[in-house]
A and B are shown apart, each in its own frame.
Chain A
Amino acid sequence: MLWDALGEAIRLLTGGDPDTWEIIVRSLLVSLCATAIAFGLGLPLGMALAFGRFHGRGAAHAAVNTGMGMPPVVVGLILTVLLWRAGPLGGLGLLYTPAAMVLAQAVIALPLVAGISTAALQQVDPDFRIQMEALGATRARALWTVVVEARLPLLAAVMAGFGAVISEVGAAMMVGGNIAGETRVLTTAAVLETSRGNFALAIALGLILLGLAFAVNAVLTAAQQRGRP
């Protein structure tokens, strides 16, 4: 069965099956967009949690850490209710669109990225920032040097976020609807093929998914480990 699946995967990829390639590209785009949004919001949030001195910081930190383990199905459910035609955000008409999937995945990845970013930034010696200011850096510049200093673990935050959303199926299914040619991605397609009994095809899609996750993480890892002994 596994060999069949492997053959099927190779056939799908090399045969230039337009449906498969479309699904691959959509999966990548949705998850990369979601990860980018999650990082864009998660890094400042992580900085606020790591360096901020405000009331409720502890509670916010705990909330983010809790969010790291939030089931995607719950996120999917909440967003479905919100985006439902009669729901509070129904007017946007986002339900069953790739935009809704990006939104759901960004929500799933945000606590992961923010939580790991917080830990990454806190790993840098607190005196590092003071030392940078003591050399003439403005406060903002000194903060930025801390971010640059923490770039390796921050990339780990990006990898964790991407890994979580590319492999996620519950929310993608619920807010995307697995519509062929519109919102079908690798995970939802694999679920569909499994339910149809097309195990070889489902496994092939799973293998492609694995390969994709590996390729993206390999690029990030290469960037992360550049210049290390």
Chain B
Amino acid sequence: MTAPLLELRDLVVRAGGRTILTVPRLALAGASTTAVLGPNGSGKSTLLRAAGALLTPERGDVLLDGAAATRADVRAATAAVLQRPLLRRASVRANVESGLRFRGIARAERRRRGEAWLERLGIGALAERPAHRLSGGEAQRVSLARALAVTPRLLLLDEPFGALDAPTRGELLADLREALAGTGTAALLVTHDRHEAAALADRVAILHGGELRQEGPAGQVLDHPADADCARILGFDNVLPGHLLGVAADEIAVPPEACGLSGSGGLSLAARLVRVIPLGPVWRVELEAEGWTVLANATNAPSAELVPGDEVELRVDPAAIREL
């Protein structure tokens, strides 16, 4: 078995007198993308910075190809794209070339590689523009091109799409996936968006409260939360006792999308409507069943018929229930 490209071992990061991240082991394989999912403040960005040797941990090791690595080794193998596109007050081209400049690449080679990435990310036409006059999406493209231009073995992405509108995010996501696949670059993507993780990642790790809670192949992790916190992060908003739905397990999780007020089949449960949350075409309804709060989707129910206090019949798709 080949050693992982980068591995974190017994990592503990402390700040302000408290432990903010504990990772016993996390291995990132070459040519694969690992998504780290977690809510705000769960230590995701800290994990990313530890992986890039951008902070000094309390203890723990960063290994490259199975061997202990110095800070300089890790820096040489990685490049990061942080949340906000922190561009220099210079032209787009100069920004894209800056990582190459830091790495001592000669001018002609810088030009060539910078140019290639400008084209590849669709910002060739902006090359001579001052970087501080770009839109958010353009700026993030520059930031991405700047990191990819140094051809890192591992690309570190800290919620790079967080501040972008949906169409811009979608396009950039597609371009990024293409770029990663085309170059065989491994990536560590930190995000709070499970859809982003599903779109890009081969493997998913879940962080909660600074602890690594679950890690595995994306398909497996995204569909099978290990505990209640992981379930909520993965969109299984309803964490309920098993007996409520006649399941043998102590605790179960089920996404709101698998709960509805209409249709036939599936499990059925008497509930009371607490409130209605309009979310565009699909409405989210909050119900109470035997003292437990359940979120469900109401697709076909006309809104006028839904009045808080109503007794309703909740239907749950048993295939979507996960035992915790």
Of A128, A152, A227, which contacts B86 at CB under 8 A? Answer: A128
A22 interfacial contact with B, CB 8 Å: no
Of B80, B84, B89, which contacts A134 at CB under 8 A? Answer: B80
Q: Which residues of A contact B88 (CB under 8 A)?
A: 145, 148-149
Q: A152 to B130, alpha carbons, bound, how many Å?
A: 15
Of A128, A130, A136, A138, which contacts B79 at CB under 8 A? Answer: A136
Q: Which of B120-172 contact A (CB under 8 A)?
A: 130, 133, 146-147, 150, 156
Q: Which of B70-102 contact A (CB under 8 A)?
A: 75-76, 78-80, 82-84, 86, 88-89, 98-99, 102
| Nearest-Cβ distance from residue A133 to partner chain B, whole angstroms | 6
Using C-beta atoms within 8 Å of the partner chain, give the interface range for chain A: 20 to 34
| Nearest-Cβ distance from residue A143 to partner chain B, whole angstroms | 13
Given A130-B82, A229-B133: A136 touches B89 (CB 8 Å cut-off): no
A137 interfacial contact with B, CB 8 Å: yes
Q: A134 to B75, alpha carbons, bound, how many Å?
A: 7
Beta-carbon contact of A135 and B133 below 8 Å = no
Closest to A146 in B: B88
Q: A131 to B80, alpha carbons, bound, how many Å?
A: 7
Q: Which residues of A contact B150 (CB under 8 A)?
A: 135-136
Using C-beta atoms within 8 Å of the partner chain, give the interface range for chain B: 20 to 34
A127 interfacial contact with B, CB 8 Å: yes
B54 interfacial contact with A, CB 8 Å: yes
Given A130-B49, A227-B130: A135 touches B82 (CB 8 Å cut-off): no
B43 interfacial contact with A, CB 8 Å: no
B107 interfacial contact with A, CB 8 Å: no
Per-residue contact bits, chain B 11-54, to A (CB 8 Å; 1 contact, 0 not): 00000000000000000000000000000000000000100101
Given A141-B102, A229-B133: A133 touches B86 (CB 8 Å cut-off): no
Q: A133 to B79, alpha carbons, bound, how many Å?
A: 9
Beta-carbon contact of A136 and B84 below 8 Å = no
Q: Which residues of A contact B89 (CB under 8 A)?
A: 148-149, 151-152
| Nearest-Cβ distance from residue B52 to partner chain A, whole angstroms | 6
| Nearest-Cβ distance from residue B305 to partner chain A, whole angstroms | 50
Of B84, B102, B103, B130, which contacts A125 at CB under 8 A? Answer: B84
Q: Which residues of B contact A151 (CB under 8 A)?
A: 89
| Nearest-Cβ distance from residue B63 to partner chain A, whole angstroms | 19
Given A130-B54, A227-B130: A135 touches B99 (CB 8 Å cut-off): yes
Of B76, B84, B102, B130, which contacts A132 at CB under 8 A? Answer: B102
Q: Which residues of A contact B86 (CB under 8 A)?
A: 125, 127-128, 131
Per-residue contact bits, chain A 189-205, to B (CB 8 Å; 1 contact, 0 not): 00000000000000000
Q: Which residues of B contact A130 (CB under 8 A)?
A: 49, 54, 82
Q: A128 to B84, alpha carbons, bound, how many Å?
A: 9
Q: A149 to B90, alpha carbons, bound, how many Å?
A: 9
Beta-carbon contact of A135 and B54 below 8 Å = no
Beta-carbon contact of A133 and B54 below 8 Å = yes
| Nearest-Cβ distance from residue A51 to partner chain B, whole angstroms | 15
Beta-carbon contact of A136 and B76 below 8 Å = yes
Q: Which residues of A contact B52 (CB under 8 A)?
A: 134
Q: A151 to B130, alpha carbons, bound, how many Å?
A: 15
Q: Which of A132-186 contact B (CB under 8 A)?
A: 132-138, 141, 145, 148-149, 151-152
Q: Give the B-binding residues of A (Cβ under 8 A).
A: 125, 127-128, 130-138, 141, 145, 148-149, 151-152, 227, 229
A-B contact pairs, 9 of them (CB 8 A): A127-B86, A128-B86, A130-B49, A132-B102, A134-B79, A135-B80, A136-B99, A141-B102, A151-B89
Known contacts A125-B86, A127-B83, A127-B86; 16 additional CB pairs below 8 A are A127-B82, A130-B82, A134-B75, A134-B147, A135-B98, A135-B146, A136-B76, A136-B103, A137-B102, A138-B102, A145-B88, A145-B98, A148-B89, A149-B89, A151-B89, A229-B133
